[in-house]
Every structure is written in C-alpha cells, then in structure tokens.
Amino acid sequence: MTMDDEDWHGEYLRRLKSRFDRVSLNLPTIEVRFEDVNVTAQAYERSRAVPTVINSYASFAKSVGTKIGILRIQTKRISILKDVSGIIKPGRLSLLLGPPGSGKSTLLKALSGKIESGLKYTGKVTYNGHELHEFVPERTSAYIGQYDVHLPRLTVRETLQFSAKCQGVGTRYDMLSELLRREKDLKIKPDPYLDALMKASVLKGHKENVVTDYVLKVLGLETCADTVVGDNMQRGISGGQKKRVTTGEMLVGPVGAFFMDNISDGLDSSTTFQIVKCIKQMIHVFDKTALISLLQPPPETFELFDDVIILGEGRIVYQGPRENVLEFFESMGFKCPERKGVADYLQEILSRKDQEQYWANPEVPYRYVSAKQFEEGFKTHHLGSTMRSQLATPFNRWENHGAALTKTTFGSSKWEMLKACLAREWILMQRNIRIFCLKSFQLFFNAAMIGLVFSTQREHHSTVEDGIIYMGAIYLEVQMVFFFLNMDWFPNSYLRF
C-alpha cells in the first residue's frame, strides 16, 4: 500500500472504510444528547482572603468554633452549568469554546460520565437514547483531561502499550470476524496489506504493537517513542509531547466518543493543526463522535471543525455549524473585523472588557450583552429552534448498533491485566534498582535492630510493663509502614489505570 506522506492517515482510513462498505457492514455510531444539565458546587467560606497575622488567628478561632459546634459552617452555592442542552452528532467534529471559568471542563466530564462526586448534578445525558446507568460510559467514551499524569520512568511506547493492554480490543475482533465472513460469502479478496494490518490489530501480543505504532505516527511521537516520559526530577520528553502522550493513551482504545479538554496546551500551531486534522479524518470516515475544547485555536485549526459550541458563564450561547456562527452574532449586533481571527473574536465577545469594540449597530447605543441574553437570543434564532425540535424528537433506540455501547466493566480479563501490571512493575523495578536495593537494606536493617532490642525481653505479657513494651514494638512497626507509604516512588505507580 503506497501512501503519500502528507495524507497517509486519511488514505489508510478511506481504504479501511471502503472495505466495510463493500460488504454493507455498518459501523457503530454514538449520538450524545444532554438536556437541562445543571451542575452546582458548595464552596466553603472559612478563612479570610489576606493571610495576615490577625486574619490567621481569626480563621483558626473560627475553625475551632465550627468543629465544637459553636459556629455554623458557612457555604455558598456556585452554579457551574445552568440548564445546558444540546446534541453531539456522530461524523461531525465539534469545537467547545469559552473563556476560562465558563464550565468547559465540567461539561466534558458530565458528558463522559466522570463528574466529580462533590458536585451536584441534575439533568439527563444519553448515548443513542440510553442513559448513563444503562451501560459503562467510562469504556464507551474517553475523557482526555488537561493535566498530564504519567509514570516518569516509562517510555512513551511503553506508556501507550500499557494503555492498549488495559483497554483491550473491544468489539474490533467481532467486527473483523463478521467482515471476513461476509467477504468469504461474497467471494471478495481484500487488500493483503490491509488485511494483515487489521488482523494484527486484534490479535493478542500483536495488537498493542500495531496500534501503538499507528498512534505514535499519527501524533508525531515516533522520534521520542523510546524516550522516558520524565518529570521534574528526571529529564524526559517536552511538555507538548506529554500532552500528546495523554491524548494517545485514549486513542489506542476502542472507544467511540472522545471528549478532549484543552489538548493544545503546550503545542505549537502546526502540531495542533496536524493532530486535529488526523482526528477529523477519523471522525468523518468512521462516524465517531468528538467534542474538543481549545482555548485559542489558530484560524487554520478552527476551519477544520464542523460544529461550534460556545459557553459563557455556564450557559450555551451558541451551538451549530461553524459557518453560521458569525451570522448569529451579527443578528445580535456584533461584527467580527476582517483581520481578526474568528476564534479570538468568539472568545472576546463574551468579555465585558472587550465586547464593546465589536458593536456594529450605530443606531442603537451599546449596552453590555450578558451570556444569558445571548442564550435567549439563540433560542429565538432558527438554529436554536432547530436544536429544540431535534431534542424534542427522541432517539430511536432500535437504531442503536449492538457494538456502540459497552456494558462490560473491564476491557481485558483479570489475568491479562495482572500480567500487564506485573510486566510494568518489573520494568520500573529494573529502572529503580538502586532505590529498591537501598530500601530493602533499610527494611532488613530496621527489622534486625528491632528484633535485637526485643530479643532479650520476657515473652509473657502479664504486667503493665510488658504491655508497654509490646505497644512500643507495635508503634515502631506502624511508623515504618507509614514511612514506606510516604515515599514518592511507591504510590505513584498505582495511580494509572
């Protein structure tokens, strides 16, 4: 299979899709709907803002009074999302825009079923007409956060391979089996290179390598594939490459919906464009679902998106095709300058400080238009009316593909995940051999010292003095346990997956 270096990814996806189309095999799609979603949080008002000596004592006295019941805990309810509704359609790449603090991350977590337990959540989120409790949203969709949490001593390739082992192949094996059966019945001979690649992507032992190499090439991580990720204490890959590794950990899985939170942080405009372009090709060819949050996308990246959702003060002020976004704001009296980037314009138009410069109606004096007024204006707009009519028509659950929603908790068997974790820990032990030797020596030395100290003591425990001796031994043992648990290298390896 010969592919042009510039568009090898799109050509590969198109050939893969044409193979499914020749046998009339439909691929699973996911339509995400959310209606009247509200998210609120309780914020505690305990300490004073300025940390002076007097304020410190006052805050301490207030906290003591609260604990003993003299004073009441003062809380304040904060609304993060306010009655937001919309549809994320398959086969269309959607962009989520909004100023900082508008609720973008909370919306992405709510749609992916990963809302924090401390937040109060109301409303309804459905995938193909099924509510979140009817399937496992953590395996059906993927939330890619804006913070990078990796094991610093693993390489980029090892990190992606471990993620692929934990997530499994999903329904890829069943889809490939059905594809081969139909091709055999219709006597269709597939492309040998494409056939070998598809079979290797679902076979145990080969799947992780094939999918990992594919994602490494898509994300431009081939040059640093065998470099350790690193952290503040160990040199590794750059911050932008870490962000791409975070994205790659989810792309190696078999999920059908992606919710990506500020994946362009630390990336240059060219890299951001290439990544979004590859994601768009995957979304369009396989009709997957994706909602991507970007803070300030460059113009060429903004043009790649099909739909735009704009959040302001926890409200959706616009949701619809990218081509109609300027038309809506012009109907509200604002106009984007010719040399101004559309994405920057959409970010600043919700700001009280920057909004006035875009006012374009000389007949009416300017007055600040809040996010709530934009929301009311969108409801009367023809795009808002179309959205409400689509939400009023329920999704036909009979059209749901059997492989679209995942109902199993784990992607691999317990034995496979145990082997993956043991293999990962063996790699970490080899790369931390000095620390393990030092801590092992320290453990045996302390055990020998404690055993030597208490070896001459009486074995019976009939007096208070004997009880004090045994309590002292227990105290030393518990102290050692807490000492080992507080070491930086120990708990971090159990935070991933």
Q: Quickly state the pLDDT bin for 479 (edges 50, 70, 90).
A: confident
Report the C-alpha gap between 56 and 64 in whole angstroms.
12
Domain termination residue (choose one: 356, 381, 399): 399
So what's the pLDDT on residue 64? 76
229 and 118 housed in the same domain: yes
246 and 331 housed in the same domain: yes
CB atoms within 10 A of CB 47: 14
| Mean pLDDT value of segment 427-441 | 87
Closest CA to 136 of 286, 246, 255: 255
Q: Which domain holds residue 47?
A: 38-80
Report the C-alpha gap between 478 and 28 in whole angstroms.
53
CB atoms within 10 A of CB 2: 6
Q: Report helix angle 192-200 to 207-218, nearest 10.
A: 110
E-strand stretches of 270-314 = 289-293, 307-312
76 and 150 housed in the same domain: no
So what's the pLDDT on residue 385? 92
The answer for residues whose C-beta is within 8 angstroms of residue 341's C-beta and 6 or more apart is 298, 299, 302
405 falls within a domain: no
173 and 304 housed in the same domain: yes
Q: Quote the percentage of the chain above a pLDDT of 90.
A: 33
421 falls within a domain: no
12 and 53 housed in the same domain: no
403: exposed, middle or buried (Cβ count in 10 Å: 0-12, 13-18, 19+): middle
- Identify residue 239 by its one-letter amino acid code: G
Q: Quickly state the pLDDT bin for 434 (edges 50, 70, 90).
A: confident
121 and 192 housed in the same domain: yes
46 and 17 housed in the same domain: no
| Mean pLDDT value of segment 386-411 | 87
17 and 53 housed in the same domain: no
User: Do the Cβ atoms of 124 and 87 come closer than 8 Å?
Assistant: no
| Mean pLDDT value of segment 21-43 | 88
Strand order in the sheet with 75-88: 75-88, 32-44, 120-127, 130-131
232 falls within a domain: yes
Distances from the Cα of 156 to the Cα of 151, 203, 228, 244, 249, angstroms: 10, 22, 6, 10, 10
182: exposed, middle or buried (Cβ count in 10 Å: 0-12, 13-18, 19+): middle
426 falls within a domain: no
419 falls within a domain: no
More confident position, 497 or 178: 178
More confident position, 136 or 9: 136
User: Do the Cβ atoms of 34 and 110 come closer than 8 Å?
Assistant: yes
Q: Is the pLDDT confidence value at 489 over 50?
A: no
CATH number at residue 235: 3.40.50.300
| Mean pLDDT value of segment 440-447 | 83
197: exposed, middle or buried (Cβ count in 10 Å: 0-12, 13-18, 19+): middle
Number of domains in the chain: 3
What 3-state DSSP class applies to 381?
coil
221: exposed, middle or buried (Cβ count in 10 Å: 0-12, 13-18, 19+): buried
16 and 70 housed in the same domain: no
289 falls within a domain: yes
Least confident stretch, 22-31, 50-59, 340-349: 50-59
User: Do the Cβ atoms of 73 and 287 come closer than 8 Å?
Assistant: no
Q: Round the average pLDDT of the chain to a whole number and report it.
A: 83
454 and 384 housed in the same domain: no
451 falls within a domain: yes
The DSSP symbol for 92 reads S
So what's the pLDDT on residue 295? 84
User: Do the Cβ atoms of 180 and 190 come closer than 8 Å?
Assistant: no
Distances from the Cα of 224 to the Cα of 220, 231, 267, angstroms: 9, 15, 15
Q: Quickly state the pLDDT bin for 232 (edges 50, 70, 90).
A: confident
Q: Quickly state the pLDDT bin for 2 (edges 50, 70, 90).
A: very low
Token pair of 265 as six digits: 């942080």
What's the half-sphere exposure (Cβ side, CA atoms, 13 Å) at 468?
Answer: 3
72 and 135 housed in the same domain: no
So what's the pLDDT on residue 124? 93
270 and 344 housed in the same domain: yes
So what's the pLDDT on residue 493? 46
Token pair of 69 as six digits: 């019941």
389 falls within a domain: yes
| Mean pLDDT value of segment 88-106 | 92
